[in-house]
A and B are shown apart, each in its own frame.
Chain A
């Protein structure tokens, strides 16, 4: 998959990753495309991939009875989608649905986990990057939780 390497190298999430680590990633990578409206993953499913988004838009949703599907976050170009693949039991806890035609690079989760176990330097490097993403998302979630625009009577 030589053609994917330059695309991965350019992505903000993988910026400054060592060349040898990039090559390890490429080994797990494949090109994917989602039509508008298609699910990227479903709540409860095994988390077999994570996605490096190239363009388009994906909404993370939760379906609640009587409320329908509530979108609580959206991701697009430059974002990374999914970290449940990192944490046992490796199941998605939300739905993710493409709301625009979306192109992404899917990274096979088992392939990635094996490589990270074998090469701890790669594992640590990826953990650092995911930790930053999780921190940003946790901050954002907390601010959204505050419901700052709500009217208190």
Chain B
């Protein structure tokens, strides 16, 4: 779907008006366009029809357990990191209907449910979220059984990514090798360039259809200044990550420290509220539930997001295998940073920092990963956004 990094396509510049043209063209082509907008006190993904809906001149301040909207000194349209939503919400929705059954006497009829999502174009997607989408592809599309609804939504998805210029206080995509520039998985990648009163977007196609769409927009060649500005924005962002983590050897270290006293410490703080798994763009655990009407003759089976933090996640006749919060926190962290690699060939973490921001008690996975096995906590400076 998208090119490997080596075959770089020529870049073009889009003026701000061309971005509106991009949105309009996608909508005319039949896509529902989703992009970042203000909502719920944060920046969320929702329907986008106009660039005026983008959080222009806005930014975010993210710390463990803290998210605040702020105002920038410039009018950047993408001058913030990620909010609580990720593409997961649209590609792997929280509730999906699987089938309907009807009982008549001792007979039963069963009808599969179709998925009715329109093709969706995502504008303003960050590198961490594109990487997360590719991580979920491995889980949901490359095993012995696949998720057909995910595949359908995935194939119909058009990705217009934005390379980060303003990493957040909890971001660590550079450590995880997933950003700040998007590498693959996108149709178009934009880098916002804002200097000396000029505002433009350096655009690069990541796929044939991305190139085709760019070809239909009002573009112009990239100036040297713009190219330099774009490159500087990305390397600057890489140097100002809110957090770092040494990703080497983490799976082995977690596997060797299953009873590290550190787990006790973090377990005492953890509320097992499952916020981290809800905001995590790669978490894929689900459950199924049967919904019936009062007559009991009609039942619908739905699949819902689930979390390994819930007590009955691991329940088998008589009890849960992981009753303690200690075991449940350990399961999540060890899976995300450790066993995921053995299972799917990459880390489960893309360094988006959401779990750190949205944890009500501010547990920082980079600290926990660093501390397991007796490594001292780091005193890296934390960038204030």
Contact = CB atoms under 8 A, between A and B. Distances in A.
Contacts of B319: 152
B225 interface: no
A151 B319 CA distance: 11
B104 interface: no
Contacts, number: 6
A34 B134 CA distance: 75
Nearest to B319: A152
Interface in A109-153: 151-153
B314 to A, nearest CB: 15
B216 interface: no
Interface residues of A, number: 3
Contacts of A152: 317-319
Nearest to A152: B318
A33 to B, nearest CB: 47
Contacts of A151: 317-318
A152 B323 CA distance: 15
B318 to A, nearest CB: 3
Contacts of A153: 318
Contacts of B317: 151-152
A80 to B, nearest CB: 37
A153 B317 CA distance: 7
B164 to A, nearest CB: 51
A151 B318 CA distance: 7
A152 B316 CA distance: 10
A150 to B, nearest CB: 9
A152 B320 CA distance: 12
A153 B319 CA distance: 8
Contacts of B318: 151-153
Nearest to B318: A152
Interface string B310-342: 000000011100000000000000000000000
A153 to B, nearest CB: 7
A40 to B, nearest CB: 39
A152 B319 CA distance: 8
B380 to A, nearest CB: 48
A152 B318 CA distance: 5
A39 to B, nearest CB: 39
A50 B318 CA distance: 43
A153 B316 CA distance: 10
Nearest to A153: B318
B244 to A, nearest CB: 46
A151 B316 CA distance: 11
A12 B312 CA distance: 50
A153 B318 CA distance: 5
A131 B317 CA distance: 38
A152 B315 CA distance: 12
Nearest to A150: B318
B311 to A, nearest CB: 16
A50 to B, nearest CB: 41
B29 to A, nearest CB: 58
A90 to B, nearest CB: 43
A153 B315 CA distance: 12
A4 B50 CA distance: 103
A1 B74 CA distance: 109
A98 B319 CA distance: 41
Interface in B145-173: none
B320 to A, nearest CB: 12
6 contacts: A151-B317, A151-B318, A152-B317, A152-B318, A152-B319, A153-B318
